[in-house]
Amino acid sequence: MLTFNADLSYTGSSWHETFNALESIPLTCAQASDPQATCSGLSQTVKDTESTIVTSCSGSTTCSCRISGTLSAASGAGTYTTSTTLLDLAGSMTAHFGYCVDGDLLHLMQLSATLDSSGQQMILSDLVAQRATP
């Protein structure tokens, strides 16, 4: 639950994020820190109280890795500011997002610092929140 109030304050609770990514890693890069590294040896599962991240890799000279997981944040509160397409959260859940609203969906996007070949910022992640019905 994420609530934005008219007084420019916000509260958040049970904040969850699920993610999936594909990454290609040259095996020589992995072997720079561990000369015995293999692609399958890069596979692992990491769990703690707030997250689970599963990495599964295969390949021989280039490792093809699928990374997936969930992140959970504790409850938080603070203030927010907006400009045309930017949302800044300050307080216990500090963050900076590009954003847009499409119907009852709020897209909070992490944008690349560099531009792609067509001169546009790339969307690195897109957190989608749906407006709760009263």
Residues 36-93 pLDDT 10s: 899 999 999 988 777 889 999 999 999 999 999 887 766 788 999 999 889 998 987 7
Residue 54: count of CB within 10 angstroms of its CB = 15
CA distance 61 to 81: 47
Per-residue pLDDT, 130: 82
SS3 call for 40: helix
Per-residue pLDDT, 129: 81
Rounded to 5°, angle at Cα 24 from 22 and 29: 140
Residues 2-49 pLDDT 10s: 888 999 999 887 777 778 888 898 999 888 888 889 999 999 998 877
Per-residue pLDDT, 111: 79
Instruction: Give the burial class of 63: count Cβ atoms within 10 A of its Cβ; 0-12 exposed, 13-18 middle, 19 or more buried.
Output: buried
> Does 68 or 119 have the greater pLDDT score?
68
Residue 134 above 70 pLDDT? no
CA distance 78 to 52: 26
Q: Which of 44, 100, 87, 94 is nearest to 73 (CA)?
A: 94
Per-residue pLDDT, 73: 67
